[in-house]
Structure 1
C-alpha cells in the first residue's frame, strides 16, 4: 500500500515525498514535469510521468501501485500569471482535480490531502487570518483552489471521501541540498538570482504602516509544511476525522525588510535593497494563525528565519 503524491517532482511535492519516506511510508510520484524536476525524486521512489488530466493513466497508476490515499500537490500555481491564463489555470486546477477524484472513486481510493492556498482569502481586512476569515480570491488561481476544496466537500457528502485541505502563504527554505525552489515568481529565488547575477534585489514599497515600512507576510519552512502533509495523511489512514481545512501559518510573520537583512547576513553579500514603488493591491500585512493545525497536524514552526534563508541559499548554491 502506498500514497500517491501528485506534483511530487516539484519543490513542495518533493519535500512531501521525502517526509513520507522518512516515516517509512511507501509513496508513488506522479508529475508531468511542467515545473518539476525528475532528479528531485529519490531513485527508490516509483515515478510516473504523466498529467492528472489523463484519467486512464491515473486509474492505472492507482491500481498498479495499490494506492490507498493521495496528496494532491500538482497544479498551476502562479497567481499573477493565472490572470492572463485563466482557462489554462482552471483546466489544470479544477478539471484536473475533478478527473483525479473520478479516478479515485472508480478505483476505491477514498482519502486525499489537498494542497490548497491562502490565496482563497484574497486581501483580508484582518491582522490575523483564521480558517473562518471570509473567502474572496482575487485571481483564477485562488478561485481554482477554493473550487477544489468545494469538490472535496461534495465528494465527502456523496461518496464518503475522507479529506482535508491545507492553506498556506509563502513557502521557503529547503530540507535537502538537492531540492530547491525554482519558481521564477517567488521572492527567495528572485533575490538569490539577483545577487548571483551581481544585481541588487528590490523591495516594492517601504512606506507601509508596519514597523519597518515594508510588507509583512507569512513565511514558513517547506520541511515543516511537508511534515504536516504527512501527519494529515497518517490521521486519515487511522480513520480520524479532520477539519475540512487548516491554515499553516506562523502567527506573527516577518517583513520583506527583515528578509533582506537576513539574506545579507547569511550570504555575506552586503547590499542595500532598491526601493521600487508599491505594487497595486499589496496589503501591508497578511499573517495566518496555525492553531488548529498545531492541535491536529503536528504543525510547528521548527525553523527560524535564518534557518529558512540559509537552507534555501545553500540548496541554491549547490545547484550551480
Structure 2
C-alpha cells in the first residue's frame, strides 16, 4: 500500500511520512520546498520536488507509484500573513487542493485525508470547540481551509454513485508542537515554540502578549498538541479510508484542556534550564481568552490521544532545534 504525502518535506508532513512507514505503508513525497526541507525526507522514500499546482506532475506521481490515497498536508499555513497575501493563500490552498483532487480523479485515486485547521472556526465564543460549531474563519487562511473541506465534500457527493467514489476526511487542529525525530524541527517564523527557542538561543527574553485575560493565570489558553500524535491520527484515518470503514467528514484533534502561554513559558525555563521571566507586552487585537477543542470523535475513531506532557512537548522540540545547529 502506497500513500502520497503532499508537503511531506515540511515539519508536519515529514512526521506523517515516518508514521506511515512505521505502520508498514509506503510513503511518497511531493513538496516544492517553499517551507520544507529536503533533509526531512527519509532516505529511500521517493521524493518528487515540485508544486501541487502542476496537475500533470501530481497525476504522474500518483500513477508512477501506484498510489492508493493522498494525505494532503501541503499548503500556505500562516494565518496572520494570509491577511497580507490573500491571493497567494488562495492559490496555494484552494487551487492547490482543487488540482490535487483533479489529479486524483484522473488517476483513479479515491482516498484523501485533508490536513485542515481549527482556523475554520475563527474565534468561537464557547470554551470547548466541537465539530458542529458554526464556521466563521477570521483570515484568508481559515477561509481557504474551509473551502478545501467544501471541495472534498462536493467531490464526494458528485462521485458517490460512480465506480470510484471519493472517500475523505478532514483533520482540524490548532498548535502543533514538539518533535518525534531530532532530524525534524519546526522552522516556522510565526509559531510560539520556535519563537521562544530562537529568543532563548539568541539570549533574548521571550514575550507574552497580555496577562490580563479571563483565565486562571491571566494568559491565553490554547490547544497545544504533539506532532507525533497528529501524525499518528493521519495514519489511522488513512487506514480506515483504505479499509472502507466509516469515518466522519471532519475531526478535531484537540487537547480537551489546553495550556496557557504562562504554562508554556514555565515549561520552557524548566526544560531548557534557562531561567527567564517573560516580558509582558500589550494584548494583540482579536486574541480571545481561551480556544480549546474537544477530541472525543477522534478518540473514538482515530485512536486519538494526547500522549505527551507539556514538558515532553517542550523537551522534544528543544532537542530537535538544538540538533539542527
Residues of 2 paired with 1:311 and 1:237: CA distance? 31
Residues of 1 paired with 2:36 and 2:204: CA distance? 27
- Partner-residue secondary structure (3-state), 1:287: strand
Q: Which residue of structure 2 aligns with residue 123 of structure 1? A: 123
Cα deviation, residue 191, structure 1: 0.2
Q: Which residue of structure 1 aligns with residue 32 of structure 2? A: 32
Residues of 2 paired with 1:103 and 1:261: CA distance? 47
Contact 1:174 1:315 in 2 (8 A): yes
Q: Which residue of structure 2 aligns with residue 83 of structure 1? A: 83
Contact 1:162 1:241 in 2 (8 A): no
1:223 matches 2:228: yes
Residues of 2 paired with 1:256 and 1:307: CA distance? 16
- Partner-residue secondary structure (3-state), 1:83: helix
**TM-score where L is the length of structure 2:** 0.98
Gaps of 5+ in 2: 160-164
How many positions carry a matched residue from both structures? 320
- Partner-residue secondary structure (3-state), 1:286: strand
Residues of 2 paired with 1:46 and 1:22: CA distance? 16
- Partner-residue secondary structure (3-state), 2:290: coil
Residues of 1 paired with 2:28 and 2:112: CA distance? 14
Cα deviation, residue 24, structure 1: 1.1
Cα deviation, residue 44, structure 1: 1.4
Q: How does 1:278-289 map to 2 (within 5 A)?
A: 278-289=283-294
**TM-score where L is the length of structure 1:** 1.00
Q: Which residue of structure 1 aligns with residue 248 of structure 2? A: 243
Q: How does 1:1-320 map to 2 (within 5 A)?
A: 1-159=1-159, 160-320=165-325
Residues of 2 paired with 1:110 and 1:71: CA distance? 12
Residues of 2 paired with 1:129 and 1:62: CA distance? 36
Cα deviation, residue 12, structure 1: 0.1
* Cα deviation digits, residues 186-210 of structure 1 (max 9, x gap): 0000000000001000000000010
- Partner-residue secondary structure (3-state), 1:166: strand
Residues of 1 paired with 2:148 and 2:230: CA distance? 19
- Aligned Cα root-mean-square deviation (Å): 0.5
